[in-house]
A and B are shown apart, each in its own frame.
Chain A
Amino acid sequence: MSRLGIFVDRKTLSNSEQLNALIRCRDVSEELGHDVDFIFPVDICKIPKMDALFIRARTDPMNITYVAARMAKFHGIPVIDDSESIQICSDKINMYSHLMKKSVSLPKTIFLSRNDLSVEHVSHLFDEMGSPLVVKEPSTSFSLRVEKVHSVAEFFKVARRFIKMSDWIVVQQFIESKYDWRIGVLDGKLLYACKYTIPSVTFKIQASVNGHLIYCGVESVPPDCVPPPVIQLGIDAANAIGSGLYGVDIKNNNGDAYVIEVNDNPSLESGEDTCYPLVYQTIVSHLLRT
């Protein structure tokens, strides 16, 4: 019997579905014969006593989840998400660079530094990549600092805001789609697949519209109903990052599939795994394999 630590931060738990997912993870682990401890930030010194650590909190290299992941690594404890994956996936410059290095299919993507922000340069980008463009602050999550811009003036309005938070920003070709595929990958293998249906009032999976939070629809899809190239692209993208647990967002437009991003710590609380009842068993068994 092993001991699994589930690292949670109650400050980033935002709804009852997330809480239910944590309880489901605990129940599955116990059914497999393991003890489970929920580890909160103040309990970080308990990590060395665990046999494996599953981080289920919003990850960032500058927050407590990174400390938890590094602590696990120092003590040779298997961990999802590992600190390298957090470092890469939390920063879109780093993440897209890894995908480009492995020639993973992406929308046209370039990085702009603070010094590159000139009207000439930005006009050239519209000429090269079309309109609208998507501008991203590198450490955005849940589409928070992702904006679609249609003109140079609009571009600068957004870029000036983002460049205060990062010396480099991401500019990407806009790919129209009614839904994103989310391919869950663990250790280079398909774990689950679902569709995120984009609300008609936005182009993001989550957005604030007139003061109301709008979420995408989630539809779990069995593996034989997912186009094989989409699954393969998801696996290739995940492998470009590492061997942990990832949720790869893919747009499949007119037969051309593009990776939009690779997420560490993918959501599992909104029905993503309905057609895949063994998701938690697979994750726990992977972490506690001997």
Chain B
Amino acid sequence: MNNRGEDPQIPEIEALHAQTGGAQVPLQPLPSSGAGTNISPAAVTRYQKKNGLKTHARREPAPLKDALHILKRNNTYHVISENYYYKTEPYYTILRYELEGKKVEPSSSSVLDAYVIPICLERAASAGIPVCEWGISQAYVPLPAILYGLNYFSTTLDYFIVDDSKKAKDVIKHITNNGKYPFCYQRYPEGAEIHTCTAIFGRTVGACNTIADYAGKIYEIFRIPLVKLVFVKAGGAFLLSSLSPTRYAQLSDSERALLSAYLSNQEFL
């Protein structure tokens, strides 16, 4: 029960040092520390060895599905979750901190912005990130295009690339619940391809410098610790298409190690 009059008991992780065999030792920062940087998988392994941490990334257990973690750093609560959908436990956890007047990241309005495609792209574009050209429609769509639902039941995990009118008609029927809602379309140039990557506190593992830079900027805008970035790669340029939730189980070994470093305060925000 979450009676608003009571003080919620939310677990906090406030360790300032890594626990290694019972002794507290100060850690060296990960190479290229800070949002917007890219780390090579090998660098993550070297870092772990140097600090006496687990070095076999494959053995790093993934956090449990749907697990919610709260990190407190410099008086700010960081809520870490696979997704931040409206009306989920992570969303209400953020809301609870906000209502208590505590500083929390991401904010509830940021997560709404991030998962509503047109708003996400407007905010990203205003920060200088190239984004897909978008429009709202209720039936017609210029082809080829990427389509996203824009309603209570849709999720940014579901996007559809359509290049013929028959397929477009079927997809539109599906994502609009038989024409009940408008939808968002994005231009998808000939020869383009989808490129995805996961950002952990604005940092990527094994991504190119351009994507790493965009990931850092996106973190500065939305402050979402764990997010999947979906880009359209066309003519050598990366255009942001959407932000979507990710799954702990889908993280690579190196990404899992990086996330673990944050969760155990081995890497500082």
B1→A110 contact, CB < 8 A: yes
B92/A61 in contact, CB under 8 A:
no
B181 touches A63 (CB 8 A): yes
Name the CB-closest residue of B to A116.
Answer: B1
Cβ A41 vs Cβ B136 within 8 A: yes
**By the criterion CB–CB under 8 Å, are B122 and A74 in contact?**
yes
CB pair A116 B136 closer than 8 Å: no
Q: Mark A76-94, 1 if CB is under 8 A from B, else 0.
A: 0000000110010001011
Q: How far is the CA of A110 from the CA of B150 in the complex (A)?
A: 31
Tell me the complex Cα distance, A93–B89, Å.
Answer: 12
Q: Give the shortest distance, in Å, between A75 (CB) and chain B (any CB).
A: 10
| Docked-complex contact B108 and A87, CB < 8 angstroms | yes
| Known pairs A67-B116, A84-B109, A112-B1; A101 contacts B99 (CB<8 A) | yes
A114 beta carbon closer than 8 Å to chain B = yes
B59 contacts chain A at the CB level, 8 A cutoff:
no
* B118 neighbours in A (Cβ, 8 Å): 44, 67, 71
User: What's the nearest-Cβ distance from chain B to residue A33, in Å?
Assistant: 30
B45 located at the interface, meaning its Cβ lies under 8 Å from any Cβ of chain A in the complex: no
Instruction: How many A-B residue pairs have C-beta atoms within 8 angstroms? Tell me.
Output: 105
Given A41-B136, A44-B118; A139-B2 close (CB under 8 Å):
no
| Interface range, A side | 35 or more
**B119 with A67: CB separation less than 8 A:** yes
Partner of A93, one of B92, B113, B150: B92
* Cross-chain contact B152 with A63 (CB below 8 angstroms): yes
Nearest neighbor of A62 in chain B, beta-carbon distance: B152
Q: What is A's interface to B at a CB cutoff of 8 Å? A: 9, 11, 41-42, 44-45, 60-64, 66-67, 70-71, 74, 83-84, 87, 91, 93-94, 96-98, 100-101, 110-114, 116, 121, 138-139, 165-168
Q: Which residues of B contact A (CB under 8 A)?
A: 1-5, 86-89, 91-92, 95-96, 99, 108-109, 112-113, 116, 118-119, 122-123, 126, 135-138, 150-152, 154, 179-182
Show 30 residue pairs from A and B whose CB-CB distance is below 8 angstroms, ordered by the A residue.
Answer: A41-B136, A41-B182, A44-B118, A44-B136, A45-B135, A61-B86, A62-B86, A62-B112, A62-B154, A63-B150, A63-B151, A64-B136, A66-B119, A70-B113, A87-B108, A87-B112, A93-B87, A97-B4, A97-B95, A100-B5, A101-B4, A101-B99, A111-B1, A114-B89, A121-B1, A138-B87, A139-B152, A166-B87, A167-B92, A168-B89
